[in-house]
């Protein structure tokens, strides 16, 4: 059986950055990455951005690492193969090709997969999810001939896909179950600012609605909503959330909540096993809570920190996350902890097209949502990092 000193499951930004950080600190130890995708590391964030989706840059610019980087750094990447079983006692991972690898130290960095809509008609062609380069390539191959598109879900995927579809001038509807856009995070006034971006771009908003079934014979022709509305669409893009796939892990042994529970050093409850990136639910000493995010820079920094810890250092993960995106003429930033809880309160400021929500406890700012208010991003991030409070006067709309 093959033996590897540092085995990494998942070749995304967390796993790849960890491999780089390990190599910087251990020049000889063997490193292998198991990746169920057929590609070297690419920018997942660019997939839904106009610059890539609308072919404004050469397609190969999506790749962050090329083959020679792995060779030069003596990092063995096994592509198009999955980890299917983990034996933490014998320290062995079994792969989908039946090979087994014994590890000294294991990192789980498997990201998170889209939640599927398993309802009538879900196997019709023309229904897509957005996570991988292959997903987006399939959408790009059909989008220009689509007569009308339906986006399902009022979150980031829906927001960014509506932005590119509006730029392509394809008639688009967006359906979500909340009363307003981003209804699981924002309030009605903030939702209205985002929705004004959708309306200006002629996107039809269908709120308070779920999809009952997809219609069509072989290919999708539309959806029937929970209010029995029949909406036409020959291309459907679903973005209703994501969830890591833990099927290869025995959850009775490894502590799993929504993500793999790790401490501030990204260590799991099992010796020699770490987790990082979107699949990890890490204790954050600055925010004093467990957080699990879907955030590129957070995953990258976790990769750097966990790589150092796997070679024997003891670095806590202290980074305050920032998810900043722009689309439909709206700038949107989620900073720090935006999880609601009884011990937190909110300070909200709003104008006709800008919005600030600070999430605070008695002493300090823990998180914030800023819409069309980029000038405050760095000040708010510093306040969260330094455990400071901000007054209403300090944050200007």
Ligand X SMILES: Cc1cc2nc3c(=O)[nH]c(=O)nc-3n(C[C@H](O)[C@H](O)[C@H](O)COP(=O)(O)OP(=O)(O)OC[C@H]3O[C@@H](n4cnc5c(N)ncnc54)[C@H](O)[C@@H]3O)c2cc1C
Q: Which residues bind ligand X (CB under 6 A)?
A: 9-15, 34-37, 44-45, 47-48, 82-83, 109-112, 130-131, 245, 248, 277-278, 294-297, 299, 323, 325
Name residue, tokens 């806590």.
316
**CA–CA separation, 100 and 323 (whole Å):** 38
Output the six-digit token pair for 3. Answer: 């033996």
Cβ(310)–Cβ(265) under 8 Å?
A: no
Other C-beta atoms closer than 10 Å to the C-beta of 367 total 23
Separation of CA 47 from chain center: 12
Which of 237, 240, 212, 233 has its CA nearest to residue 116?
240
The most distant pair of C-alpha atoms in the chain lies apart, rounded to whole Å, by 64
Which residue, 102 or 229, has its beta carbon nearer to ligand X? 102
Torsion, Cα 293 296 300 301, to 10 degrees, reads -60
Cβ(76)–Cβ(33) under 8 Å?
A: yes
Which residue, 13 or 383, has its beta carbon nearer to ligand X? 13
Shortest distance (Å) from residue 292 CB to ligand X: 10
Which residue, 36 or 225, has its beta carbon nearer to ligand X? 36
Shortest distance (Å) from residue 131 CB to ligand X: 5
Which residue, 193 or 333, has its beta carbon nearer to ligand X? 333
Shortest distance (Å) from residue 241 CB to ligand X: 12
Which residue, 131 or 364, has its beta carbon nearer to ligand X? 131
Which residue, 69 or 248, has its beta carbon nearer to ligand X? 248
Name residue, tokens 């099927």.
247
**CA–CA separation, 89 and 178 (whole Å):** 45
Which residue, 29 or 294, has its beta carbon nearer to ligand X? 294
**CA–CA separation, 358 and 342 (whole Å):** 15
Which of 332, 60, 71, 74 has its CA nearest to residue 198?
332
Which residue, 81 or 347, has its beta carbon nearer to ligand X? 81
Output the six-digit token pair for 353. Answer: 């097209």
Shortest distance (Å) from residue 157 CB to ligand X: 6
Q: How far is CA 43 from CA 7, 16, 71, 292, 300, in A?
A: 22, 12, 20, 20, 11
Shortest distance (Å) from residue 378 CB to ligand X: 16
Shortest distance (Å) from residue 330 CB to ligand X: 14
Which DSSP category does 294 fall into?
-
Partner residues linked to 9 by β-bridges: 34, 108
Which residue, 20 or 299, has its beta carbon nearer to ligand X? 299
Shortest distance (Å) from residue 327 CB to ligand X: 10
Which residue, 121 or 307, has its beta carbon nearer to ligand X? 307
**CA–CA separation, 341 and 21 (whole Å):** 35
Shortest distance (Å) from residue 91 CB to ligand X: 17
Output the six-digit token pair for 113. Answer: 């997969």
Cβ(6)–Cβ(107) under 8 Å?
A: yes
Name residue, tokens 């688009």.
172
Shortest distance (Å) from residue 229 CB to ligand X: 27
Shortest distance (Å) from residue 295 CB to ligand X: 4
């Amino acid at each position: 059986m093959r033996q590897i000193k540092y085995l990494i499951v998942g070749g995304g930004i967390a796993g790849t950055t960890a491999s780089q950080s390990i190599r910087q600190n251990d020049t000889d130890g063997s490193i292998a990455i198991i990746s169920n995708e057929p590609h070297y590391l690419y920018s997942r964030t660019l997939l839904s951005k106009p610059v890539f989706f609308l072919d404004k840059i050469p397609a190969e610019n999506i790749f962050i690492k090329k083959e020679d980087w792995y060779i030069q750094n003596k990092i063995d990447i096994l592509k198009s193969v999955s980890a299917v079983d983990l034996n933490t006692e014998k320290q062995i991972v079994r792969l989908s090709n039946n090979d087994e690898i014994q590890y000294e130290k294991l990192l789980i960095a498997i990201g998170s997969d889209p939640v599927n809509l398993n309802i009538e008609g879900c196997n019709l062609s023309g229904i897509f999810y957005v996570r991988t380069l292959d997903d987006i390539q399939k959408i790009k191959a059909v989008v220009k001939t689509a007569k009308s598109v339906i986006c399902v879900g009022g979150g980031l995927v829906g927001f960014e896909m509506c932005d590119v579809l509006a730029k392509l001038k394809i008639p688009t509807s967006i359906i979500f179950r909340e009363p307003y856009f981003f209804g699981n995070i924002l309030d009605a006034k903030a939702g209205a600012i985002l929705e004004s971006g959708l309306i200006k771009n002629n996107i039809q908003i269908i709120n308070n609605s779920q999809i009952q079934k997809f219609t069509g014979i072989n290919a999708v022709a539309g959806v029937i909503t929970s209010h029995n509305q029949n909406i036409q669409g020959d291309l459907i893009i679903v973005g209703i959330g994501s969830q890591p796939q833990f099927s290869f892990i025995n959850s009775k042994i490894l502590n799993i909540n929504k993500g793999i529970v790790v401490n501030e050093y990204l260590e799991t409850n099992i010796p020699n096993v770490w987790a990082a990136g979107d699949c990890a639910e890490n204790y954050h000493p600055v925010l004093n809570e467990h957080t699990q995010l879907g955030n590129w820079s957070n995953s990258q920094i976790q990769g750097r920190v966990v790589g150092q810890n796997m070679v024997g250092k003891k670095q806590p993960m202290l980074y305050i996350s920032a998810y900043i995106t722009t689309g439909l003429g709206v700038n949107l930033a989620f900073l720090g902890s935006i999880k609601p809880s009884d011990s937190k309160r909110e300070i909200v400021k709003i104008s006709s097209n800008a919005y600030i929500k600070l999430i605070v406890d008695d002493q300090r700012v823990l998180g914030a949502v800023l819409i069309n208010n980029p000038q405050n991003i760095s000040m708010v991030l510093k306040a969260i990092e330094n455990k400071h409070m901000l007054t209403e006067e300090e944050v200007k709309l």
